[in-house]
Amino acid sequence: MEPESAESYPRPGLPRSAIVLLTLACAAVVAFGLAAMRGIVTPVFLAFVLTLCVHPLRRWMQGNGVPRGIATGSTIAAVLALLTGFAAVLVASLAQFSALLPQFAPQMAELAASISRLLESVGFGPEQTQTILEGLTPGRIIGFLGGLLGNIAGLVGSLVIILTMLILMAVDGSRVPALLTHLNHHRPALVAAFNGFGAGVRRYMIATTVLGVAQGLFNWLVLIILQVPGALLWGLLSFICSFIPNIGYFIAIIPPLFFGFLTGGWPTFIAVIVIYGGINSVIQSIIQPKYVGNAVALSETITFVSVLFWAVILGPVGAILAVPLTLLARTILLDSDPTIAWWRPLTGDKKALELILKQEDDAIRARRVRRGPDKPDLGSSPAV
């Protein structure tokens, strides 16, 4: 088969390089705009994701005879109570840890002296060593936690926006089925894309929440047994970091490793690595893929880059919502346009990739049948 010439492809109105540059420029403008409005975008999108997650519960209540107003109010109250309780526990844990940290000043000073000697032995100068060790003082750590506490306080302040959006989205949600039915006559691909987005995000968030709660509780109990200070805070941190793919585990393990070493030395340090590593491996490699399946359909590379990207654009909450945000971007830019749906396997959709491989295998078998069993297949290409 002769290769297709360049004339067989339709020529775009602009050169491909110009299209690529314009696309990147538009993406940069959108990214800077989202970063400038992160105070609005983050709580609104969080409310949107929560609305998607509780929508089946409200629909189930209405199907069992509960009036629509009561069902909507009950789901909103439940979500708000969970968010308020979570924020209260987090703030209380951080405050308790800030009061507990000065008790470890002698151990931290001894650790800083050991690190100082090690750095000087490998060639670091006194000024460089002093700069590095300044971050290990209780005052610096408490200052860092104070900044984190301020961010959490800002998140608590965003509960007003989240509550308002939950109420408005819940009211508008009753009209969504009729709107989708109307839109399906004109843009069926768009409706199918958003239906798939809603189902995928709902499955991902619910499964990650359940597994994150189990992981956080187990880590909390283990750290209590190992007598690591701040066990409740680190269990809560492991729950939050379970929503951050790939790098959440490495963030959650640093504080218990540090304070486990201060209180129990190397045995506690190694025990925390083994337990956290075992739990993370079982949940993310065995349990989570079984329940989430192909709902996310993102490659590991894209998932990792999305965490970094959304963390820069929207802050820490952006890292937590990185997967739903990336799925929304793919839904709008890719899934809603059937003419470019062939890009979807490149984003990590295993089902689409398996379909491509199956079609290629079928084509190879068909060529073998046509040429006969004794002739070599010189024109076939190896499967990817």
Integer Rg of the chain from CA = 26
CA–CA dist 205, 292 (Å, integer): 9
What pLDDT shows up at residue 157?
A: 60
Quickly list H helices, 158-247.
159-173, 176-184, 188-225, 231-241
CA–CA dist 241, 232 (Å, integer): 14
Whether 257 and 234 have beta carbons less than 8 Å apart is answered as: no
Strand, coil or helix: 9: coil
What pLDDT shows up at residue 4?
A: 47
The model's pTM is: 0.75
pLDDT in tens, the chain (384 residues): 444 444 554 565 678 788 888 888 998 899 899 999 888 888 888 888 888 888 777 778 877 777 877 877 777 787 777 777 777 776 777 777 677 667 766 766 666 667 666 766 666 666 666 665 665 555 566 555 555 544 555 555 667 777 777 777 777 766 777 777 778 788 888 888 888 888 888 888 888 888 888 888 888 888 898 888 878 888 888 888 888 887 888 888 888 888 888 788 888 888 888 887 777 777 766 777 666 656 677 877 888 888 899 988 988 888 889 989 999 998 888 888 877 777 777 777 766 666 666 777 777 777 777 766 555 555 444 444
Q: Which residues contact 41 (CB under 8 A, 6 or more apart)?
A: 34, 314
Write down the domain spans for the chain. Answer: 25-174, 202-350
272: tokens are: 């925390």
Residue labelled with tokens 């329940």: 291
Q: What is the pLDDT of residues 41-87, one digit of tens each?
A: 888 888 888 888 887 777 788 777 778 778 777 777 877 777 777 77
What pLDDT shows up at residue 166?
A: 76
